[in-house]
A and B are shown apart, each in its own frame.
Chain A
């Protein structure tokens, strides 16, 4: 099993550019989410999904867009990159809501100049 796969691992963008971070899981997990990790801040939830066709906002959703057309994929779109979006992004999934631990991808380090 590949688990949770994120691409790319590293990305540099210029201010105003757009891009999509890809996330795919092969565990048939209903729940998928995106977190960002900033120094001294821990991880914060951007968006999440509890199933195909269902998405909702987390704590820090501004500037990001998501969709969930299939169970496996949950891409994160940056509409117009800003330096404040420089961060490490993690995709995470679990079989369902509840007390199950999250399975994390290996992260994408994004730098916006």
Chain B
């Protein structure tokens, strides 16, 4: 079964600085998808970024970028120029393209605090 591990339960960053959130996953599949979701105190789940495993290029969305290391099964999220609004719980998630495609497997989350 696929598993997703976020080893940092909590992280903090100073406003305007850069922070990296870690995520590793375990799978025997070669084709899959990875996501980072943000959950602010409002409880809403917001897609931050998506990566397709067959693509070598790391995904970027404005201040958010990933470091996807397929061989190491690592998918870290980098937030540049951190803003107060980035404070949230961040979840890494995995979805394979095969028989278990019906579900997203989530990590336990990393709570990010942004200090002014």
Contact = CB atoms under 8 A, between A and B. Distances in A.
Main secondary structure of the interface of B (DSSP, over half): loop
Contacts of B103: 33, 45, 48, 58-59
A107 B109 contact: no
Given A98-B97, A99-B33, A99-B52, A42 B106 contact: yes
B52 A56 contact: no
Contacts of B104: 35, 43, 45, 92, 102
Main secondary structure of the interface of A (DSSP, over half): strand
Measured as residues with beta carbon below 8 angstroms from the partner, the interface class of chain A is 20 to 34
Contact of A40 (B33, B42, B50, B108): B108
Nearest to B102: A48
Interface residues of B, number: 22
A59 B45 CA distance: 20
B25 interface: no
A88 interface: yes
B44 interface: yes
Interface of B: 4, 32-33, 35, 42-45, 47, 50, 52, 91, 95, 97, 101-104, 106-109
Given A33-B103, A35-B104, A98-B97, 15 more contacts: A42-B91, A45-B103, A45-B104, A58-B103, A88-B43, A90-B45, A92-B104, A97-B101, A99-B32, A99-B33, A99-B97, A101-B35, A102-B45, A106-B42, A107-B44
